[in-house]
Amino acid sequence: MSRLNIPGRSGWARVRTLSLATLPLVLAGCASLSGDGGFKPVQQAAEVHLGKTVQVVKSEADQNAVGVRVAELLSKPLSADAAVQIALLNNRGLQASFHELGIAEAELVQASRLPNPGFSIAKLRRGDEREIERSVSFDLAHLIALPLTRQMENRRFASVQRSVSMEMLSLAAESRKAYYAAVAAEQTARYMRDVRGTADAGAELAKRLAQAGNWTKLQQAREHGFFSEAVLNAARAEQARITTRERLTRLLGLWGQQTQFTLPDRLPDLPQEPQDRPDVEQTAIAQRLDVQAAKLQVEATAKSLGLSKVTRFVNVLDFGYRRNGSNEALRQTGYEISFEIPLFDWGDARMARAEGVYMQSVQRAAQVAVEARSEVREAYLGYRSSYDIAKHYRDDVVPTAKRISDENVLRYNGMFISVFELLADARSQISAVNASIEALRNFWVAQADLDMALIGKPSLSGGTAPTTSAGSTGPAH
């Protein structure tokens, strides 16, 4: 460490000149906390992309206000939009992430402020001579690098804001998908209970006919086999109903009496036409938050590389004002500058690391862009194919099954077929109805995946196979 000490009465004037020169930097370093804790960009993302409101719970009054709003939304059958709004207000994990913004902002402000100046005082005595030495010092290297450091920390803070916004949007998408899954499971369970009732009636009639000697044991066993399978499928459907409902409950952060919310009887109808989005890739690259965050990281690491270059040789630089007094000599004033001599460490290792981190962030940003394009294409193609499948069930499969059923009812009324042939026809429709419900559910889930893929990294669900097999093992007549 080298030290330069220049006494003289003009030292104070030099200090004042230097203070005026560095005043803008000092003022820039006097950062303060914002009133909202950096929450505004998250609020804007919720309004722009979701049309919803978000709130940070900081007090008991805030929690009570959220509770009132949640109770209002739960007072009537839950809709997909209401489920998303409840999740954004009531999910405690999301609230914890909201407070991460305040932590990140505090770190930004701390990094943007100048370090406190140092003050030292020494009292020396030699015989009758007494000497008092006073000095004030502060870190000039920190002051010089402050603008670059502030820019870098600002970018890091913005990255945290985007990360929290993305988590919020992801929760909204998952809540919407969980809602459609829960409604579909409720609808399927209700239908399977009806199927079980029909199978029970058929099995009881077959039992009576067998007892009367009008049916063989094989025919009775077939009817009982269908009943057993209907009981099993009804139990599976009930299990799926409970599982999907509990997942939705967790995402919405509900507990106690809140878990008794009501879902609608059936899924929303399929739109008449699907969305036509030929520009999905361009839209995703322009507005996806993970792509923006990757770009921001590249800029931040570039600034960090610039900071490493600035401080490569001058890493420790201190400036101080000194004033020494003695009862037997004139007062001494002056200033002191100390700095590191790069004798052993020339900063080349720090430079190599900074350059490596920069190139790493560049490659990761490129990979994020490639994945974004692929994910949005997959989401859009999945959305269109899900629409086509659901439309085929709506316009062809289910109407055809209904026409067959109507014709068989007419034949039964004309005594051309027996009641068991009518029941067998009803069993053949079960798989078509279940598959139709699942196809409609898959479409709405694919819609949620596409919406998420346009603004952030989605959790693509893909198609799901039918979960019930009722009607696959019916009696042959």
Q: What is this structure's pTM?
A: 0.74
Best CA proximity match to 342, nearest among 369, 315, 321: 315
Count of C-beta atoms within a 10 Å radius of residue 363: 11
At the fourth CATH level, the homologous superfamily of domain 2-453 is: Outer membrane efflux proteins (OEP) (1.20.1600.10)
Which class for 299: exposed (0-12), middle (13-18), buried (19 or more C-beta within 10 A)?
A: middle
155 contacts 296 by C-beta, under 8 angstroms: yes
Residues of the chain with pLDDT > 90, as a percent, come to: 34
Helix (H) or strand (E) holding 257: none
Give the CA diameter of the chain: 134
Task: State CA 7 to chain mean position distance.
Answer: 61
Tokens (6 digits) for 323: 């004033």
Nearest-angstrom CA–CA distance, 239 and 64: 34
- Residue 474 is predicted with a pLDDT of 43
- Residue 296 is predicted with a pLDDT of 74
Q: What is the DSSP secondary structure assignment for residue 46, as one 8-state letter? A: I
User: pLDDT digits over 146-184, tens only?
Assistant: 676 676 677 778 778 888 998 999 999 999 999 999 999
AA letter at 208: R
Parallel, antiparallel or unpaired: strands 129-139 and 317-326: antiparallel
- Domain range summary for the chain, segments of one domain joined by +: 2-453
- Residue 419 is predicted with a pLDDT of 57
The residue-averaged pLDDT of 350-355 equals 69
User: pLDDT digits over 17-28, tens only?
Assistant: 545 445 444 444
Which class for 273: exposed (0-12), middle (13-18), buried (19 or more C-beta within 10 A)?
A: exposed
Tokens (6 digits) for 337: 């500058």
